[in-house]
Amino acid sequence: MFAQPTAAALNHLLQQNRWALPRLVRFAGKTARFDIAPFSFAWTVLPDGMLASADNSTSADAVCVIAPSLLPRLALHDERAHADIRSEGDAAMLAEIFFLFRNLRWDAAEDLSRVTGDVAAERIVQAVQGGKQQLQDAALNLSQAAAEYLTEEHPLLVKPTQIAAFVQQVDTLRDDIARLEQRVARLKSSGNS
């Protein structure tokens, strides 16, 4: 049901990033399937590098099983999330798919310009990017303020320098105890002689 629209969206993205097509041509005729519960999508690479939706019952050359909980992390380009994707099949094809996922970029201004015109599209995209940057800055500032509050005002967290000092004190105490044990052992052995 969703395979055809997703193939069209991916092909649009590939057309905007023409550099990617020759990379996919190497896998012409091969099929990749993505299982994202409860959905499953399969696409076959065409000779020109574009994609065609494939029947899920078709045997796939590469299979990726992605837990739905990974989707937000993948959308935020969390590199560690890729390690949690279960995959099997053609390793070269999977490597290329993951490379493209990381590097394909949607040119929203180009698509929006068909509706609003070039200048308005650029301004809208800049406003959205500015809002995104403000949200990221606000999140960073909030996390820094929370960390400062929890380490300075209401100390529930410990600063790294305090941890290092504590570790040093523990090491010194351990060494002192070892020397004391050796001294006691020597005193016992000299008292027994």
DSSP single-letter state for residue 181: H
- Please report, for residues 5, 82, 163, 178, the alpha-carbon distance to residue 169 in angstroms, rounded to integers and kept in the order given: 63, 41, 10, 14
For residues 1-23, give the mean pLDDT.
81
- State the pLDDT at residue 61: 92
Whether the model clears a pTM of 0.75, i.e. scores above it, the answer is: no
- State the pLDDT at residue 7: 83
Prior bond to 5 cis, omega within 30?
no
Summarised one tens digit per residue, pLDDT across range 131-181 is: 777 777 777 778 777 777 777 777 667 778 888 888 899 999 999 999 999
Cα dihedral value 65, 71, 77, 78, nearest 10: -80
Highest CATH level, class, for 3-103: alpha beta
**DSSP H helix total and E strand total for the chain:** 7, 5
- State the pLDDT at residue 6: 81
What are the DSSP calls for 65-90, one per residue?
E--GGGHHHHHTT-GGGGGG-EEEE-
Annotated domain spans of the chain: 3-103, 107-156, 158-193
Do the beta carbons of residue 3 and residue 54 sit within 8 Å?
yes
